[in-house]
Amino acid sequence: SIERTLVLIKPDGVRRGLIGEIISRFERKGLKIKALKMLWLTRDKAEEFYSVHRGKPFFESLIEFMTSGPIIAMVLEGDMAISVVRKMIGPTDGREAPPGTIRGDYSLSKSQNVVHASDSPESAVREIGVIFKDDEIIDW
């Protein structure tokens, strides 16, 4: 079924000049870009976005990292988009992510892992709502 998912290119991905490369992979796969922007997360927004991780040992460093520079946010749509995109980005730890996945090809870290993608339909709806206003999502 047709799903929407939220993808972020994290500050390390933007800093390293990987924006085009990453967007290109999703386009070539056939996912439809319904929204796209660059933004710099505030601490409040970053904490809201990652609220499920509040209290975990890596939470503070995650927030520091995610607010350390601009990010790219996009809404991607397609058949089974949530699981398809999760497979394309690979597991959290870039050191263990298989080659061919985005993290496997571009990250050697569990925290600075280049991209984020929603892990369920519920997170997708919530995360899209945290980052985008309704009128920023284009009907095409």
Q: By C-beta, is 23 or 89 nearer to ligand CMP?
A: 89
Strand order in the sheet with 71-79: 32-39, 71-79, 2-9, 115-117
116 is catalytic: yes
| Annotated catalytic residue within 116, 117, 128, 132 | 116
Per the CB < 8 A criterion, the answer to whether 7 and 127 are in contact is no
Q: Which of 45, 86, 87, 111 binds ligand CMP (CB under 6 A)?
A: 111
Task: For the CB of residue 140, give the shortest distance to ligand CMP in the complex, in Å.
Answer: 27
Alpha helices in the chain (DSSP H): 11-15, 19-29, 43-49, 59-66, 81-89, 102-106, 121-131
Q: Is 123 in the site for ligand CMP (CB under 6 A)?
A: no
Which positions make up the binding site for ATP? 10, 58, 86, 92, 103, 113
